[in-house]
Amino acid sequence: MADLFFDTALLPRGWARDVHMRVDGGGWIATIEEDATPQGARHVPGVAVPGVPDVHSHAFQRAMAGLAERGAPGGDTFWSWRERMYGFLESLNPDGVQRIAAQLFVELLERGFTSVAEFHYLRNDAHGRPYDDPVEMGRRILSSAERCGMGMTMLPTLYRRSGFGDAPPNADQKRFVASVEDLLGDIAVLGAGAAAGSVRIGLGLHSLRAVSPVDLTVTVEAARGMDPTIPIHIHVAEQTREVEACLEATGARPVEWLLDNAPVDDHWCLVHATHVDEHELESLAGSRAVVGLCPTTEANLGDGVFPLAPYLKARGRWAIGTDSHVGRSPATELRMLEYGQRLTARVRNVAAGPQHRSTGRALLDGAWSGGAAACGRPIGRLAPGSRADVVVLDPDHPTLTGRAGDELLDSWIFSGDDNPVRDVLVGGRWVVRNGRHVLADEVAGEYRAAAYELSGASPQLDIDFE
């Protein structure tokens, strides 16, 4: 049991003063009182807001961030980036992935993310063979999450083909491939060992190009037989080439095909969905699925810009993810999301809509509620029964000085790159104090060794200054 007293907190009904929060031994918010007195509770100065869910992560790609930024004679696209990614993962092993994931989780937590949906398809060894423990890689990522205090929705991901028309996987994709039966076994095994409260096991379907209609149907039905509310995530309509290939193979656009042929509902998360037409947008909003937007990765890969304004008008649900981890902050992702809309429409405050409301608040409200739904966990709210995931902003930080109410959120997102996150609790456990993760130095040392091993460089940095 933890007894906490916050000067200011953002509760579901709005901003509140003098908030007394009791957290039970399992990491859940037991009670909340407003206009309370400390009564022996631990005083936590600052502004308490819900932790932000990250709904799309490939943890191993944290170590690749910044390594694909060179031009190519024929031009550089998502598809050429993918070839570089395939080459990068050839040298990854479970020890390295565990260290990379820990570094990632430390960085995400320090910036205000408190839960991650890990879209996990790096299953096999470098030869394409399962490890002696087929879920070795998944266990390593879960171990790093537990160690660092990161909430987790683990999504073992089905990957069966290299393109539409049942094209077999190519050699570069050998580390991803498993049978439907093996993938369902992974879900069952990881679920049996999942830490109660802090971990949820879901299902990942890599994409329509990598999963056949038959495999999709069988896998979803079987997974829902194991857990009727299992979170289901899929990459969809990220690139125009994918849309064109889907049209040629099926006669339908990817989101259109998915909505017509799969039981898409409020337990699904469609990642990216960048290239959708008006009909798809309306149907997607009506399905109550969450769109998982990853703005910095989508910008980095040249994917395009999701049509947020009409989607919001249709009352569609959405959330944010960090995907390839070229950005690792909720403020960065939300700012990029809003700025992409402004550049496209040439207007300001798109997420706020026509109402006289805070854009920062509108963005965070979407990320909190949509993120909780996509992760399949009771998070994103400071309320009894929710996970005690709390981000404490420093009101004396220059970014926030003199701000109050929703101005604090606007300034967190739109006032530069300085980080005003001071403290973070996940499941009632202190993981960040005074802006630093409690294991930051230890984890960074381990990550440093893994990064040098991957690069083949020495710690002295053998740099050619020619």
Q: Active-site residues: which are they?
A: 272, 323
Token representation of residue 158 = 């089905």
- Kind plus residue range of the DSSP H or E element containing 373: helix 359-375
- Report angle CA 193, 378, 33 to the nearest 5 degrees: 125
AA letter at 73: P
Q: Which residues contact 365 (CB under 8 A, 6 or more apart)?
A: none
- Reference 310, options 297, 291, 329, 334; nearest CA is 291
CB-count burial class (<10 Å; 0-12, 13-18, 19+) for 304: middle
- Reference 101, options 86, 87, 119; nearest CA is 119
* Eight-class DSSP state of 200: E
Listing DSSP states for 58-87 in one string gives -GGGGGGTTSS----TT---HHHHHHHHHH
Give the length of the chain. Answer: 466
Q: Are 365 and 372 in contact (CB under 8 A)?
A: no
Instruction: Give the Cα separation of 172 and 38 in Å (integer).
Output: 58
